[in-house]
Structure 1
C-alpha cells in the first residue's frame, strides 16, 4: 500500500499530475482541495461568511459525497472562499480524519497543501509541485475562460498572489515544502514532461524503499 503526497500552490499543475500518477500506479486519487471548496460552497449557499468559523465547521461536518461531485466548485467566488475556510483550524481538523481514512484504506495519491507535512508526514513519496506566479495565473485564467467566465488576467495574478500569501502565513497547516519532498517546478514543463519526471522520481524513491526493506 503506497501513499504519494503531492503538495504545492494553486494552479501549479499538481491536480492534473496527481490524477495521471494515480492511474499509472493503480491507486485511488483524492483532490483534498475539493473538500475545502465543497465546504466553502455550502457556507456561501447558506448565506454565511467563509470567515465564520462556526458556519464553516458546520458545513465541513455536513459534507456528503454528492457535495464533492458538484460541477460548480471551481468558480472564482468559491476559490476565494475555499482559501478562507481552509485557514480555520477547526475545519482542517474536521476534514483530517476523512483524508487519512481515504489514504489508509487502499493507499492513494493525494494532492493538497499539507499532505506531506500534516496529513501523511510518513508518506512513501512526497512531491512539492510549483511554478512561477505568472505561469500559474495564466493557467488559471485559461480555465476561467474555458468555463465562459470573463476574468481579467491581472486580477487572476493578484488573486494567485493573495492566495499564496494566505496559504503560507495561515496559522493552521501553512503551505510549505516538506524537507524530504522532491521539488518539481512545472513553469517550463508541459503536462507530459511533468508526469514523466514525477513518475521517475516515484520509481526511484520506491526502489530505494524496497532495497532498504530487503536489506533488513
Structure 2
C-alpha cells in the first residue's frame, strides 16, 4: 500500500493489499474486490457490442500485470464539489508516481471508488464532479473518466448503441491522455488544443482526417508528416 507523501491520510491500494488488514481493506474489501473482478472480466476482455476487436480497455491487462493499477477509497457520501476537491489530491499524486522500469506511463491508472454513494445519487454526483475536473485534467495531459452502475449514458466510440462505462461501484478513474482520446476532446476548443499540443503531429492514422478537420474548425493548424 502506498501513502501520499503530501497527505498521509490518502492511500493507494495495490492488488497485493486486498488480502491484508488495512482498515480500508477490512471496511471496503467487497467493493474493492468487485472492482478488480470487473476489471479482469469486463475491461480486459472483448465484448460483442464493442464494435471493434480486442478488449474493452486496451490498457487494463497490462496495468494489472505491471502493478500500476491502483485503487483508492473515498468513504462517505460527498456531493460533486467535494468529490472534485478530493480528486485534485489524487491528480497531483498521480503525476508524481513513477512506473516500474520498462512500463509506459500510459498504463498507470488510479481508480477512486466512492462505495458509500447510493446508486440513486451516484450518477448525479459522479457526473457533476467529472464535468468540473475534466478541463483542468486535460490541460495537464490527463483524463478523468466517470463510471457507475446504470451505466452512464455515454456511447462507445465504435458502436453508438453500446454504453461501456458501467461499473459495480461508483468511481472516477485517472489516467494519462492517449492519442485515441480525440473523440472525447474534439468539441471543446481548449481541450482540443491540449490534445493537439501532444498528438497533433502524430494522430492515429484512422483519425488523421478527423483531427485535421476539427483543428481547422476551431482555428488551429496541424502539420502531420
TM over 0.5: no
Normalising by structure 1, report the TM-score: 0.29
Query: Which of the two has greater helix per residue?
Result: 1
Higher relative contact order (CA 8 A, sep 6+): 1
